Structure 1
Amino acid sequence: MTKKDFGDQGEEAAARYLEQHSCRILERQFRTKVGEIDIIAEKGGELIFVEVKTRRPTHFGAPAQAVGRTKQQRIFRTAFLYVQKHGFEEHACRFDVIEILAAGESYTVRHYENAFEFTGF
């Protein structure tokens, strides 16, 4: 299995998890020249921009720790373009991280709501 296949499986698990928690998936792998957002969902009129990190269990820290300031800024810019493109300027937004910890055929989902906030470009 390639790294991309492994990541895609994680994103699929994250999308299922969000749907089970009353979220409606609007986009997956939304790409621009600026960056990519793994999942864009909506719940109760709020847009949710989700970064998915899929890893095998490790002693090197939580996968969510890999979403540093540079990655956050790319997500903010990409989210801004998405909001403009689709006319969602009046919607509240939040930025979440979902960790998928894969162990064989099973996995654990950790959802960090409001994992980071817009701090400017």
Structure 2
Amino acid sequence: MNNKLLGNKGEDAAAVFLEKNGYIVRERNYRAKTGEIDIIVSKGNTMVFVEVKTRGSLAYGMPAEAVTITKQQKIIRTAQSYIRYKGLSDYSYRFDVLEVLATKNGSMTFKLIENAFEA
């Protein structure tokens, strides 16, 4: 399976995982001039910006390791744009990384890293 297809399957599964864990999906693949956020969810009065990283193996390290400082800065700027655009100043915010590991038999495991980085 190519990386793009694996990433799309991982994001779809991640959205279901988040919903099953009490989150409300607000946006998927939100794009602004500053970048993209994979999934935006809320739970209570917290808005969560989730970067999903899917891997078919750990040959290149843990998925979260691919969320570099540069990527974090793009996500933060894009989240700030989203907050302004939607007028969401009443929420608290957090940035999570959701690692998705896909096995060859098609099953997926998830690891949600809350507060993976800060603005």
Identify the TM-score tier after normalising by the shorter chain: over 0.9
Structure 1 Cα separation of the partners of residues 26 and 58 of structure 2 = 32
Structure 1 Cα separation of the partners of residues 58 and 64 of structure 2 = 13
- TM-align CA RMSD: 1.0
Partner of 1:115, secondary structure, is: strand
Unaligned runs of 5+ in 1: none
Matched, 1:112 2:90: no
Cα offset, 1:57, TM superposition: 1.6
Match of 1:22 in 2: 22
The runs of at least 4 consecutive aligned structure 1 residues that moved more than 6 Å come to: none
How is 1:41-120 mapped onto 2 (pairs within 5 angstroms)?
41-104=41-104, 105-118=106-119
Structure 1 Cα separation of the partners of residues 101 and 3 of structure 2 = 14
Give a deviation string over 1:64-103, Cα, whole Å, max 9, x none: 0110110000000000000001010121000000011111
Structure 2 Cα separation of the partners of residues 113 and 16 of structure 1 = 17
Paired residue total? 118
Unaligned runs of 5+ in 2: none
Matched, 1:35 2:31: no
Partner of 1:110, secondary structure, is: strand
Partner of 1:60, secondary structure, is: coil
Give a deviation string over 1:19-38, Cα, whole Å, max 9, x none: 01110000000011110000
Cα offset, 1:107, TM superposition: 1.1
